[in-house]
A and B are shown apart, each in its own frame.
Chain A
Amino acid sequence: AQTVTQSQPEMSVQEAETVTLSCTYDTSESNYYLFWYKQPPSRQMILVIRQEAYKQQNATENRFSVNFQKAAKSFSLKISDSQLGDTAMYFCAFMKHAPKTEYGNKLVFGAGTILRVKS
């Protein structure tokens, strides 16, 4: 079974600064996908960024980027130029590759990191 660990329960950052959220995972799979989801105070889950394990290039989405280290099973999220609207719970999640013949596409989540952006 896969597990996802987020070792930072809470973090804070000043507006306009950069912050990095950590995530490690454990799997014996070679082909999988990793995600970061954001849950603001409204509790609506929003996809932030996605990474395919077979791609060496780190994914980026505007101010959000990841540092994917497959050998170390690490998948950290970097938020640049932090904004007040980035205040949220951030979840790291894992999905193994599932052939269409299998029942798949389950997401396994970490416990989350609460990020507070201060003005």
Chain B
Amino acid sequence: DGGITQSPKYLFRKEGQNVTLSCEQNLNHDAMYWYRQDPGQGLRLIYYSQIVNDFQKGDIAEGYSVSREKKESFPLTVTSAQKNPTAFYLCASSPGRRLPSGANVLTFGAGSRLTVL
């Protein structure tokens, strides 16, 4: 079945460490996104990519980095510069610019919970 796989589901990090969250999709989608979810704040966009080897900062990109070397993969690195990284992270994908905006429904992964010890 087509879908989005995020790993790991739970991750613990010591302060000062970088960690990488994996996101893989087999939906043949061009666009991929990373959102952060905190209680009472909804989902906030960290980074997004419309095409391989290109990506854009979202609203809260500071302390995060991404790469898009393959269409299927969009890993997120949470660096030590991120002041408050404990959160739930959601990866999503959509068909991208091949379709009109309204047809670009986002499909989400199951999420990764990062806790800083």
Chain A positions near chain B (C-beta within 8 angstroms): 4, 6, 9, 33, 35, 42-45, 47, 50, 52, 91, 95-98, 100, 103-112
Write 8 A-B pairs (CB below 8 A) sorted by A numbering: A42-B110, A43-B88, A45-B90, A45-B106, A50-B102, A107-B45, A109-B44, A111-B41
B43-83: which have CB < 8 Å to A?
Answer: 43-45, 48, 50, 56, 58
Residue of B nearest to A34 (CB): B102
| Chain A: minimal CB distance from B56 (Å) | 6
Instruction: Tell whether, in the assembled complex, residue A110 and residue B42 are in contact, meaning their CB atoms are under 8 Å apart.
Output: yes
| Chain B: minimal CB distance from A30 (Å) | 13
Residue of A nearest to B92 (CB): A45
Provide the bound-state CA to CA distance between A45 and B100, in Å: 22
Which A residues are in CB contact (< 8 Å) with B25? none
With A43-B110, A45-B90, A103-B56 as known contacts, state yes or no: A109 contacts B43, CB within 8 Å: yes
Given contacts A105-B94, A111-B42, 8 further A-B contacts (CB under 8 A): A45-B108, A52-B102, A95-B102, A98-B101, A105-B31, A106-B58, A107-B43, A107-B106
Which B residues are in CB contact (< 8 Å) with A98? 101
With A100-B97, A106-B48 as known contacts, state yes or no: A44 contacts B110, CB within 8 Å: yes
Instruction: Tell whether, in the assembled complex, residue B40 and residue A111 are in contact, meaning their CB atoms are under 8 Å apart.
Output: yes
Which A residues are in CB contact (< 8 Å) with B43? 91, 107, 109
Which B residues are in CB contact (< 8 Å) with A9? 40
